Structure 1
Amino acid sequence: MKQLCFATNNHKKLQEVSKMLKGSYHLLTLQDIGCQEELAEDQDTLEGNSRQKAAYVWGNYQIDCFADDTGLEVEALYGEPGVYSARYAGPQRSDTDNMQLVLQNLQGQQNRKARFRTSITLYLGGQEHQFEGIVEGQITELWNGDTSFGYDPIFIPDGYNQTFAQMSLQEKNAISHRGRAIRKLVEFLKAQ
């Protein structure tokens, strides 16, 4: 079985993606390849951040890898938090603080349209490939659910009446932004 490194330290993301790649590739973590450093995410786009992380791993460890960056883009907030989603409320990267700030900034807003967008950059044999996944939805007024991470407790995807955090991992992966991007990645890998 071929090996592929997912350039993340987020164990919940790793769990999501491992289930989707099961049987296709043996997924390695940054820890598995000896990468102890924190990967920079200082670009001004999601695509730039995913590229920066994947390029770093390929350049320093010469192992096929992919990295992702995801942002919540809220229409009434002019696309915020976007590329700053993980640190929207500050450098502490607190999911709770980030959600509270989004809800605070949306107080009194009728328009609660939002979307999650994931950009994945794959380095395979030194060649770069990018994939994107998007899911449209709404921001709730109250938190609901506790089975996930990030902004999931305040995001209801269009066509559903539950937040991502109220869904099982299997239900979420079937429709999520990351799931959509990963499926494009998997289809690409299977064609190689």
Structure 2
Amino acid sequence: MKILIATGNKHKREEIQQILNGLEVELISIDQLPESIEVEETGETFTENARLKAEAYFELTGLPVLADDSGLEVPALNNEPGVRSARYAGENADYLKNNQLLLERMKDLASSDRKARFRCVMCFKTSEGEWFFEGITEGEILQEFRGSGGFGYDPLFYVPALQKTYAELTPEEKNRISHRGLALKKFKKFLKEYLKKFDKRQ
């Protein structure tokens, strides 16, 4: 079975490929498509945005599509940056600018108010329907960067249980506990059963 991974984010794509490794599927990147589309993420929730992307790419290609939307939620900031995590400091902002804005908005918060969570919602769409998978990792936001791995808010997102930021974890460690890793594990379990039914229909 071919599955289109509906993201242009290289880091996300690599995480997905690592976790789904070993399954009898061919993962296709949107970079491999003869034409590309720009999907406006106009949803108010991660679920809505994941669905928008999955539906748009399914309509374009007819292939089964795995799309995700994910981001950081800080309860003390009314769950900002939320669905705007990638463009928190503006449409063309890079990771550094987003992180700097987050630190600025949290500078006067007490340590007890620096709790945060990463949330990922994945949508798998085929001709038979669509299914959703969610992963959440709880942590807190540090006052300075730590670690050189990962991307996005990883250098600021501290996981107390591991006493490390996302950026200090190896890819294998991160995949075990990250929001995307947890959502993908649920999807992988579902996909194994789905593939059995798919094979019987072939």
3-state DSSP class of the match of 1:120?
strand
Q: Measure, in 2, the Cα distance between the counterparts of 1:49 and 1:133.
A: 15
- Give the secondary-structure state (helix, strand or coil) at the position aligned to 1:41: coil
> Cα deviation per residue 1:154-187 (whole Å; 9 max; x = unaligned)?
0012312111011111110000000000011110
1:9 and 2:16 matched: no
Which residue of 1 is the match for residue 37 of structure 2? Answer: 37
Distance 1:134 1:59 in 2: 29
Distance 1:165 1:60 in 2: 35
Q: CA deviation at 1:113?
A: 0.2
Give the distance between the partners of 2:88 and 2:131, measured in 1 at CA.
28
Measured in 1, the distance between the counterparts of 2:13 and 2:121 equals: 15
Match of 2:142 among 140, 143, 150: 140
Identity of aligned residues (%): 39
C-alpha contact 1:50 1:121 (8 A) present in aligned 2: yes
Structure 1 residues 144-159: aligned runs within 5 Å? 144-159=146-161
Q: Supply the distance in 2 between the matched residues of 1:169 and 1:7 (Cα, whole angstroms).
A: 21
> TM-score with structure 2 length normalisation?
0.91
Aligned to 1:83: 83
**What SS class does the counterpart of residue 144 from structure 1 fall into?**
coil
* Cα separation, 2, equivalents of 1:33 and 1:187: 27
User: 4+ runs of 1 displaced by more than 6 Å?
Assistant: none
The offset of 1:78, in angstroms, is 1.1
Q: Pick one of 177, 180, 191 that aligns with 2:179.
A: 177
1:114 partnered with 2:116: yes
Q: CA deviation at 1:35?
A: 3.7
Alignment match, 2:22: 23
Deviates more, 1:28-37 or 1:75-84: 28-37
- In terms of fraction of residues, the more helix-rich structure is 2
1:12 is displaced (CA, Å) by 0.7
Which one has the largest radius of gyration?
2
Q: Report the secondary structure of 1:92's partner residue.
A: coil
- Structure 1, unaligned stretches of length 5 or more? none
Unaligned residue ranges in structure 2 (runs of 5+): 195-202
Quote the offset at 1:34 in angstroms.
2.5
Indicate whether 1:63 and 2:63 are aligned. yes
Counterpart code for 1:90: G
User: Cα distance, 1:126 vs. partner?
Assistant: 3.9
- In the superposition, the TM-score normalised over structure 1's length comes to 0.96
Give the residue type in structure 2 aligned to 1:48.
E
- Asked whether the equivalents of residues 50 and 120 of structure 1 are also in contact (C-alpha less than 8 Å), the reply is yes
Change in CA separation of 1:65 and 1:16 when aligned onto 2, cut-off 3 Å: same
Across the aligned residues of Structure 1 and Structure 2, the Cα RMSD in angstroms comes to 1.0
**What is the CA-CA distance between 1:36 and the residue it aligns to?**
1.8
Q: Matched residue pairs, number?
A: 191
* Aligned partners of 1:58 and 1:126 also within 8 Å: no
